[in-house]
Structure 1
Amino acid sequence: MIHHITLRVLAHATEDVSRVKMTLDFFLSGAGVREESKLIEELEAEGHHGNPITILSVQLKRKADCLGFARFVHEKFSGEDVARLRDEMPERLDDNQVFHLRFDKQAAYLQQVKFTDSSDAITAKVKIETYPKNWEKAGAIVEELFG
Structure 2
Amino acid sequence: MEVLPEKLPVAFLEVRALSHATEDEEKVYQALKNVVTGSLLEESPASRRKLEGHYGNPITLLTLKVRSKPQIKRILANIFSGLSARDRGKLLAELENRIDGEGNLYLRFDKQEACLGRLKLGASDPIRVRIKLSIPARQRSRLVEACREMVEEFKGGKD
- The TM-score, its normalising length taken from structure 2, stands at 0.84
Amino acid at match of 1:69: I
Deviation for aligned residue 1:86: 1.3
Q: Secondary structure at the match of 1:33?
A: helix
1:70 aligned to which of 70, 76, 90:
76
Percent of aligned positions that are identical: 29
Amino acid at match of 1:17: E
Amino acid at match of 1:146: V
1:140 aligned to which of 145, 148, 151:
145
1:22 aligned to which of 30, 33, 38:
30
Matches within 5 A, 1:54-65: 54-65=60-71
Structure 1 runs of 4+ with >3 Å offset: none
Deviation for aligned residue 1:26: 1.5
Summarize the Cα distance change of 1:11–1:87 in structure 2 as closer, same or farther, 3 Å threshold.
same
Specify the alignment match of 2:15 in structure 1: 7
Deviation for aligned residue 1:44: 0.5
Amino acid at match of 1:107: E
Summarize the Cα distance change of 1:110–1:131 in structure 2 as closer, same or farther, 3 Å threshold.
same
- The TM-score, its normalising length taken from structure 1, stands at 0.91
Q: Hey, what's the Cα distance between the residues in 1 that align with 2:103 and 2:67?
A: 16
1:21-65 Cα distance to aligned partner (Å, 9 max, x none): 1111112326x63743x2210110111111110000000110011
Gaps in structure 2 of 5+ consecutive residues: 1-8, 153-159
Gaps in structure 1 of 5+ consecutive residues: none
1:82-138 Cα distance to aligned partner (Å, 9 max, x none): 1111111101001111000000111111000000021x1100000011258522111
Cα-Cα RMSD: 1.6
Q: Hey, what's the Cα distance between the residues in 2 that align with 1:7 and 1:59?
A: 7
